[in-house]
Amino acid sequence: MKLNSILMPLTILALTATIAYSDNNSTQSKLTNPYASPTLVEKNMDTETNSSDAANWNIADFKNHFTNNGMDDSVIGNTNTLMMQGTAGSLSASQNPNVMTTDSLQSNKDLNNSDWLSGWNNSIQDVIVTNSIQNSNVSLLQIDDTRINCFLTRDISFQWQCTKSGVIYGGEMTSNGRVARLKCEHECYEQETCVSVQDSFNSTNTYKQADVSWKGTVNKDNNLTFSITNTQTRILTSLNVELPKQYKNVGLSIQYTQNGKTLYAIKDLNLETYDSNGSIPVNAQVSNLKFILKALKKDINATEVMISGVSLNYVSDRKFICPALQDVKDLVQDSLGNKCLNGSITTFTMSNGKTYELCSTGSLKGNNQDGTFSNESSCNAVCKTSYSCTPNYTTMSTDTLEQFREACMVNDENSMCSDTSDDCKVARLTKSPILNEVVFNATSKTTNTIVDGVQMQGVTRPRVEPNDILNYERKKQEEWKDGAFKNMAQYSKYNKTTSAVGSESPSENAYRISIGLGTNVGLPGTSNVATRGLLWLLKPNSLDVNTETSKYFYAIIKARLAYMDYDIYGQKQKKFKDIWYLKTSKDNDDLLAIKYGKDVGYIGSADGNFTFITNQYATLQDVTFNQSAKTWVSFNPSQTAQYFMSSKLDANDTGGYPYWEIPIINNSGLIVKQLDGFVTSRDPLPSRSEHYDTNMDGTGDGMLYYEILVYYSSSQKTFSQLYSLIDSGAMKSIYKSTEAHLYPTSINGDGSSSNKDIKIFRYGPATNTSVYTQIYPKEEDVGKKGFIFIFMQ
């Protein structure tokens, strides 16, 4: 009996995202101005925009859309999937739910080749049958009574579990695993509670003053002004001005104060065209509301103007915050940290004495400028603590993996195949020849592996051996080992050294940020907190290793410090200075000042960015800082410089790594406290005396950035020789605090680039060579058995 077999291995795709950083090789460093005012966009979230462009919609628009059109998992899942896909991510970024429905995506020709938009659903078997008939693209043999169509697949389920509630999403193999994961991610959270932080309001949401007799004369020399002063602390959304008639060539301006700034709701509106039944939008928390009427043309002699009534509309009487996500009261703010960067903190004191502190530039903020929400429901909608979802393998076992699902394909040409007679199983056990085989992945994409009895070249055919004679362990070993070797040979999944044993392999440098636990970082309330250090990752020149000769290790830290001073005209000017430090201890952050340059330049501003303007006449002097006398002292740079470590480079002493990890900074949070000559405060004019041992009050030096350069040598070096090594580029820069992303954080090793998941490191001369291999398994391979093949020549 001949067999047409359909194999359906389920494929799980792992997605990775890459952040490309653009190189910045300009000679001047540019920093983002942390004091620049943020751009604020204010919208009324309760009123629909009715815009045809969904990118302009607010909350009210989306609420109306989903009320009329409904919302299900497909919109959520499709949006999340396309956000990860990248090439089609602009669809989800358009914010238009109409283009994210399943029907819209299926009709989009730009997505014809996308496998991401089809899931494993209950109708998969019918899809397989249809695709096998339409997509086989082969000339089938003559159909007779000996030909049957079968499908074969492993019976594996897809399940995801919420780490907070423990709820499991998903089920049998026929369920949609992608939707299960998305559903888990959307429901795996804990609802927090919003609170009102302004509970003293008793007034209504509308203020109206009618039957007033505000009137006066407007002419070319006289403006007419009316004021309403009782609007302070209210969130004004719109206002109406009632006029008894229209006035020709008279302009109306409405001015208000917000956070000390004078703004205009409208300016010089011609009252000849003004409709007193219309509303003027404001959308701001205002005070000092003022109406100004003036002549728009100079030839106007006199016009009597009267305002008969004013209506003010407010969005809410109260303000709401989410304390779990917005209250920064318990965060520590000191000279080394800021709990409200580039923003202002508003303190709310409740009637019961409880206080909250809110940062106006926090990651979560409402529609009000101070970060509060004017609507309680809007606050509750985002007041949630999200938790992660993880794959659930509690139902998985070797028994599960042993199970296969096989049956007859359902179509008119397969009338001779019977599930009740186990025709497919009998054909498999009797090793009936396979005439045509089509493999499907989890998205039902087809691949023809056998056509007219001949295996196709250039395609990977899965080894699935549901042979009742072989036990499961034997099946598993045979499948995995054969597949691993074929994978390695066919796709060049191996690595090899680029140079022969005994030849030179150049050195490499990188850095790594380490996390440790410090007993006390030197600040109040900071005992037993995490500390950040910096390690020098070194792959030395291969011929410098295993030589039994000690090497000397040097590190220089270039620090750039900012301070506020005065120019010759008595105007404030932000200047900067450079100090170089030599590391003198491996275990402690002991830094010796070796070069000093004051007034190296000043900090300018261009397009909102900081720019360092260098003083061409400034020089760095060979001086060190005398801690006792609090003065700078000259020294001779021809003397031998201190090294911070001396050690033999033995390939057996790397601490388990195939390269060396050498500590440079043990606690970056306290690096400022280790800088000799750091000015903590300055006296005001005219003395401007500098102090080095007082509390930092903001008048002293501030750290802009620091750069680390490293070098090792078989002989000791003088200070002058180290400076020459820096000038020639032999002493390498491994880290700059403002441009850390431009520096490597890993060592490539001595292997070729055929497989970057396997790195090779070779050390030592030909008579004493060590070779290390470092393997980085893919995420989907972790926890599985693997095969490692090693060939030596």
For residue 509, what pLDDT band results from cuts at 50, 70 and 90? very high
434-440 and 189-191 strand pairing: unpaired
Q: What percent of the chain has a predicted confidence (pLDDT) above 90?
A: 17
Question: Residues 123, 129, 133, 137: what is their CA dihedral angle, to the nearest 10 degrees?
Answer: 90
Span 33-77, pLDDT tens digits: 333 344 444 445 567 777 877 767 777 777 777 777 765 545 555
Domain boundaries, the chain: 190-198+319-386, 206-314, 508-746+755-775
pLDDT for the residue numbered 127: 52
**pLDDT value at residue 390:** 85
Q: Could you read off the pLDDT of 521-552 as tens digits, one per residue?
A: 455 555 666 778 899 999 999 999 999 899 99
Give the mean pLDDT of the chain.
76
* pTM of the model as a whole: 0.43
CA distance 49 to 56: 8
- The pLDDT-based confidence of 663 (bands split at 50, 70, 90) is very high
- Rounded Cα distance between 124 and 176, Å, is 10
Per the model's pLDDT, the better-predicted residue between 18 and 748 turns out to be 748
CB distance 326 to 245 below 8 Å: no
Instruction: Quick: pLDDT tens for 129-186.
Output: 555 544 444 333 344 556 788 877 766 666 788 998 899 887 654 455 567 778 888 8
Rounded to whole angstroms, how far apart are CA atoms 463 and 478?
9
Averaged over 662-671, what is the pLDDT? 86
Contact 170, 157 (CB under 8 A): yes
**Mean pLDDT (whole number) for 596-607:** 82
Spatial CB neighbours of 161, under 8 Å, sequence gap ≥ 6: 167, 168, 169, 184, 389, 390, 391, 392
Question: Residue 271, Cβ neighbours under 10 Å: how many?
Answer: 21
Q: Reply yes or no on whether the pLDDT at 622 is more than 50.
A: yes
Question: How far apart, in whole angstroms, are the C-alpha atoms of residue 598 and residue 29?
Answer: 19
> What's the half-sphere exposure (Cβ side, CA atoms, 13 Å) at 417?
24
What distance in Å separates the CA atoms of residue 445 and residue 435, rounded to the nearest whole number?
20
Compute the distance between CA of residue 155 and CA of residue 645 in angstroms, rounded to an integer.
Answer: 59
At 264, is the pLDDT very low, low, confident or very high (cuts 50, 70, 90)?
Answer: confident
396-406 b/e (C-beta count within 10 Å ≥ 16 → b): eeeeeeeeeeb
In 3-state terms, what secondary structure has residue 284? strand
- The per-residue pLDDT for 450 is 87
What DSSP designation does 659 have?
S
Contact status, residue 701 vs residue 561, Cβ threshold 8 Å:
yes
Residue type, 425: K
DSSP structural state of residue 273: S
Determine contact, residues 441/9, Cβ cutoff 8 Å. Answer: yes
CA distances from 525 to 172, 516, 698 (A): 52, 17, 21
DSSP character string of 535-590? EEEEE--GGGSSS--EEEEEEEEEEEEEEEEE-TTS-EEEEEEEEEEEE--SSS--
Angle between helices 177-187 and 73-85 (to 10 degrees): 100
Q: What's the token pair of residue 660? A: 């060396």
Which tokens hold the place of 443?
């998205």
Distance of CA 768 to the CA centre of its chain: 46
- Using the predicted structure, report yes or no on whether residue 661 has a pLDDT greater than 80: yes
Higher-confidence residue of 261 and 323: namely: 323
Superfamily of segment(s) 206-314: icosahedral virus (2.60.120.660)
Q: Tell me the per-residue pLDDT of 558-593, one tens digit each, with 9 for 90 and over.
A: 999 998 887 767 788 888 999 999 999 998 889 999
- Omega of the bond leading into 686 within 30 degrees of 0 (cis): yes
pLDDT top residue among 384 and 669: 384
Q: Is 719 helix (H, G, I), strand (E, B) or coil?
A: helix
- Mean of the pLDDT values across residues 316-331? 82
Q: Comparing 311 with 195, which gets the higher pLDDT? A: 195
